[in-house]
Structure 1
Amino acid sequence: MAYRNGTYIAFHAEGSTDPTASDIKYYRMMLAWRAKDGSAFPFYNSHDKVSAVRDTSQAETIKRSLRLRMDNSKNMVLIIGARTRFDTDFVPYEIGDAVDRCHIPIIATYPGQGVIRSPNNLRDLWPSALQTRIDNGKAKVIHIPFNRNAIEDAIGQFNHSKVPAGGGLGYYNDDAYREFGLL
């Protein structure tokens, strides 16, 4: 059995390695946070695959690599930007693997959002793979803004044996948001 201590991060890269394009910039921000002060959250780069994303001969090889990384993860951070719902290849696969096979919670984080009190209001941003699993009760999700304090708290708190309250529509209360400096 794998030692599940990492955090798997998924985002829609739109096939780009440009650090300013797509949601890769938010992933790179998380890398910068960790590098700056040695943040205590280990995570796996799910997008070492970018150069091979459009090569269908390598899709199964990529998925095998992603499964190995997911096996070592206690949770998944899913960065949900304006275009994430349009991803048709790896993000839906990663969501399905996290929920259906690994049974790990998802930390859905939204760049540009403030305090989130009603995750259903963000439904239009969700990839269908997430929406289906929230609707059928399989996904255990906390919905948070893209904020370092909130992300670090969620990574430290939720794992395969401690999932967010609220099923697929979990969110933090105002006391937590005050602690994160958002209220």
Structure 2
Amino acid sequence: MGLPRTFIGFSSTDIHYYRLMLAWKEHDHIDFNFVNCQLSQEINSHDEAYIKRKCRERIDMAGTFAVLIGADTRSKHKYVRWEMEVALEKKCRIIGINLDGLRSVVDARCPPIIRNIGAVFVPFSPKIVAHALENWTRQPDNDWHYKDEIYKRLGYK
């Protein structure tokens, strides 16, 4: 099976986490990989319609939408929420990646648009994110997380 084509949504305040994921992808000693559907370079524009059109093109290429969930993700409506709307419209697999390290949905931080829609929630860590990318299966509408035995099998305590 090929690597999952993934678009990663994140608040601009969390860009360093996205860059860290790219570093995971580039290092052989970290078992983590995906086909990155992000824009190849930042869009140097203030034209919201143009930016959204370019992002939609990339989300349309992806089968998976992973969103980095940080302190302000819930309140980001202009682009982050819009990206989630596009991903849901396209019926992408949704993975919520908690930057606070928690293993399940965090009500105070999670954008309501991805609540109870069959998304899986994991902490920001390469092995479990890789597991979610490679093993995600559509679930009934709810919020999902992996059981402790999956974490133990992957080497987590």
Look up the SS of the partner of 1:124 in the other structure: coil
Look up the SS of the partner of 1:144 in the other structure: strand
Q: Please tell me the residue identity of whatever aligns with 1:111.
A: L
Look up the SS of the partner of 2:37 in the other structure: strand
Correspondence for 2:91 among 103, 108, 123: 103
RMSD in angstroms over aligned alpha carbons? 2.2
Give the 3 Å change call, closer, same or farther, for CA 140–115 of structure 1 in structure 2: closer
Q: Distance in 1 between matches of 2:121 and 2:4?
A: 21
2:80 paired with 1:82 = no
2:1 paired with 1:8 = no
Instruction: Indicate the larger mover: 4-13 or 70-79.
Output: 4-13
Q: Distance in 2 between matches of 1:46 and 1:96?
A: 18
Residue 113 of structure 1 corresponds to 101
Give the 3 Å change call, closer, same or farther, for CA 9–170 of structure 1 in structure 2: same
Q: Report if the CA contact (8 A) 1:115-1:182 is conserved.
A: no
- How far the C-alpha of 1:36 sits from its partner, in A, is 1.4
Which runs of structure 1 show a deviation greater than 6 angstroms over 4 or more consecutive aligned residues? Answer: none
Q: Please tell me the residue identity of whatever aligns with 2:61.
A: N
Residue 124 of structure 1 corresponds to 108
- How far the C-alpha of 1:181 sits from its partner, in A, is 2.2
Residue 26 of structure 2 corresponds to 35
% identical aligned pairs: 25
2:131 paired with 1:153 = yes
Aligned pairs for 1:131-146 (under 5 A) are 131=115, 134=116, 139-146=117-124
2:149 paired with 1:175 = yes
Give the 3 Å change call, closer, same or farther, for CA 81–129 of structure 1 in structure 2: same
Normalised to the residue count of structure 2, the TM-score between the two structures is 0.86
Q: Distance in 1 between matches of 2:59 and 2:122?
A: 21
Q: Distance in 2 between matches of 1:92 and 1:50?
A: 18
* Structure 1: runs of 5+ lacking an equivalent: 14-21
Give the 3 Å change call, closer, same or farther, for CA 47–83 of structure 1 in structure 2: farther
* Structure 2: runs of 5+ lacking an equivalent: none
Q: Distance in 2 between matches of 1:105 and 1:6?
A: 10
- How far the C-alpha of 1:94 sits from its partner, in A, is 0.6
